[in-house]
Structures are given as structure tokens and as C-alpha cells.
């Protein structure tokens, strides 16, 4: 990932090519390890093609362990034991719950049409007991869009599955791709320093402040804390795709970066990156 950051800073056609190749390789790696060749996924609406995609999705899920909690859940459980008050949860308690990862695998292989909007909402309801109000707002937005002739699922970054995410990287402008990787690697580095600072500080004020923002759910929980090695590369790759394809996500990350910088610059904080 250090090389990625320097390539992005160089911002040339050559380094953009290196970044593109590295990002695509990192994105492919988890599927390849599961024996799924994304270039051979059958297309079309036939029962045969759908069944084949279902089997590939099942292949992705085999031997996959579903953690009881993700980062957010683990923090909330620890805070409850310590008597620390955290901001209210704004999203599903565990994004790695099998009831969510199974439809996620189907979307990854075959796209949003292989899951369907209502099936996705039912998965959220099964794993998010306190999310009824938010889920109903999402249902209402989709109903109103459908009445206006707009298919919001078709506009999703996962509309055509993993292939669509790869295409976003393959077809991205060189300068935009470098800007995305610069932003995502810098943000992950800043978050990592804040995390170290929070773990060393007996007054855990930083974590609640980080959690009280939409980017906690949209970025931190799904790869913002990028570890070293292949796992970290995959996390940065997914963040880069979000930067490229999700409307408003890049602006939110840039805003969150400014906020994180302000926490680093606070008295007693470690130096800014």
C-alpha cells in the first residue's frame, strides 16, 4: 500500500497504470481464492444462468466465518461493559451477519437483479431490529422513484455486480484514479493514527467523535481501518471504488478527512500525516 500511495502522488500515466493493475488484482484476489472466475460468470435471465450464478455465490460463502460482531458491535459491547456512552447506532449491528453476506454474495456475482430490493430489505429487517424507521424511509424512496419511472437498484454501484466495480476502476480517468487512491490511503493512514491515539488515551473521546458521523458506517466499518497485507489492499481498493462511483462519497470522505485532521491537531495529539 505504500507503493500505491507514492504512485498516486506521482500522478502520471505510468503510475496510474500500475495503480489500476494493483487495484484490480486486489479486488479479484478474494474471489479467486474461493475459486470464482469473474470472467466466466454466466449472463442472462435464463433459469440455467441464474442457477449457475447462485452456485457461484454459494461457493463464495463456503467456509466463510460470520463474526458475531463487526468493529461497531465490538466497540459498543466493550463500551457497555465499561459504562461508556457512545452515539446511537445508525446502521445494522453487524454488517458481517450471514443474513446480509449471503445476498451480498449473490449481488457480487450476479448484480442487484439476482437479489431484488424487497429481499434485501427483508435481510436488513432480520438483522437490524431497531432500523424499522430507516428501512421504511428507504422503501418509500424506492416506491416514489419507481412511480417516476426510475429503478434505483439499477443505479446502484452493484447493479451488475463485481464486474461493474471492476469496470469503474478500468475506465476511470487516470487523474481521478490517482486522486481517489491518494484520498483513500491518506484517510486510512490518518484513521490509523487516531486509533492508536485513542487506544493510548485513557479518556476515549476520539472514538465516539469518529462514530458520530455518516462516514463511520459508510467507510470506517467497511474498510477504513485497513490492515497490512492483502486485506488492507482489498480495503483500499473497495474504498477507491466507492470514491469513484457513489454519489457524494468523495465529498464526504474529504470532509471526514478535515475532521480527522482537526482531531490529530488537537493538543496532545500525534503529528498529522
Sequential DSSP letters for 46-113 = SHHHHHHHHHHHHHHHTT----S--HHHHHHHHHHHHT---PPP-S-S-TT-HHHHHHHHHHHHH-GG
Residue pair 162/38 in contact (Cβ under 8 Å)? The answer is yes
Residues 166-184 have pLDDT tens digits of 999 999 999 999 999 999 9
Residue 270 forms part of a structural domain: no
Residue 134 forms part of a structural domain: yes
Q: pLDDT category, 271, cuts 50, 70, 90?
A: very low
Range of the domain at 173: 2-264
What pLDDT is stored for residue 272 in this prediction? Answer: 41
Q: pLDDT category, 2, cuts 50, 70, 90?
A: confident
Residue 225 forms part of a structural domain: yes
Mean pLDDT of 96-120: 91
Mean pLDDT, the chain, as a whole number?
A: 89
- Rounded Cα distance between 26 and 221, Å, is 19
What pLDDT is stored for residue 200 in this prediction? Answer: 82
Q: Nearest 5°: phi and psi at 66?
A: -100, 105
What pLDDT is stored for residue 175 in this prediction? Answer: 97
Mean pLDDT of 51-57: 94
What pLDDT is stored for residue 202 in this prediction? Answer: 61
pLDDT at 233 over 70: yes
Residue 269 forms part of a structural domain: no
Residue 93's CB is within 10 A of a number of other CB atoms, namely 17
Domain count, the chain: 1
What pLDDT is stored for residue 54 in this prediction? Answer: 94
- Rounded Cα distance between 255 and 240, Å, is 16
Residue pair 135/123 in contact (Cβ under 8 Å)? The answer is no
Residue 273 forms part of a structural domain: no
Residue 99 forms part of a structural domain: yes
Q: pLDDT category, 92, cuts 50, 70, 90?
A: confident
Residues 196-209 have pLDDT tens digits of 888 887 656 888 99
- Rounded Cα distance between 259 and 215, Å, is 11
Q: pLDDT category, 273, cuts 50, 70, 90?
A: very low
Residue 28 forms part of a structural domain: yes
Residue 131 forms part of a structural domain: yes
Helix axes 98-110, 117-127, angle to 10 degrees: 160
Give CA angle at 158 (102, 192), nearest 5°.
80
Mean pLDDT of 219-233: 88
3-class state of residue 25 by DSSP: helix
Amino acid at each position: 500500500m505504500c507503493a500505491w500511495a507514492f504512485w498516486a502522488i506521482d500522478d502520471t500515466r505510468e503510475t496510474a497504470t500500475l495503480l489500476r493493475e494493483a487495484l484490480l488484482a486486489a479486488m479479484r484476489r478474494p474471489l479467486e481464492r474461493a475459486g470464482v472466475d469473474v470472467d466466466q460468470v454466466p449472463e442472462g435471465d435464463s433459469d440455467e444462468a441464474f442457477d449457475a450464478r447462485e452456485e457461484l455465490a454459494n461457493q463464495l460463502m463456503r467456509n466463510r466465518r460470520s463474526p458475531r460482531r463487526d468493529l461497531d458491535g465490538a466497540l459498543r459491547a466493550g463500551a457497555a461493559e465499561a459504562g461508556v456512552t457512545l452515539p446511537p447506532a445508525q446502521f445494522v449491528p453487524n454488517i458481517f451477519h450471514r443474513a446480509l453476506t449471503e445476498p451480498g454474495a449473490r449481488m457480487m456475482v450476479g448484480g442487484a437483479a439476482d437479489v431484488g430490493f424487497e429481499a434485501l430489505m427483508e435481510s436488513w429487517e432480520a438483522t437490524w431490529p431497531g432500523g424499522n424507521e430507516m428501512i421504511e424511509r428507504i422503501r418509500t424512496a424506492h416506491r416514489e422513484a419507481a412511480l417516476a419511472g426510475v429503478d434505483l437498484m439499477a443505479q446502484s454501484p452493484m447493479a451488475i455486480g463485481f464486474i461493474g466495480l471492476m469496470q469503474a476502476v478500468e475506465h476511470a480517468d487516470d487523474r481521478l484514479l490517482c486522486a481517489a487512491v491518494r484520498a483513500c490511503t491518506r484517510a486510512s493512514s490518518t484513521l490509523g493514527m487516531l486509533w492508536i491515539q485513542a487506544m493510548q488515551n485513557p479518556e476515549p473521546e476520539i472514538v465516539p467523535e469518529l462514530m458520530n458521523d455518516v462516514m463511520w458506517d459508510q467507510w470506517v466499518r467497511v474498510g477504513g481501518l485497513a490492515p497490512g497485507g492483502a486485506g488492507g489492499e482489498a480495503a483500499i481498493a473497495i474504498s477507491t471504488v466507492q470514491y469513484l462511483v457513489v454519489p457524494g462519497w468523495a465529498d464526504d470522505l474529504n470532509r471526514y478527512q478535515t475532521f480527522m485532521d482537526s482531531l490529530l491537531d488537537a493538543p496532545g495529539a500525534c503529528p498529522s500525516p
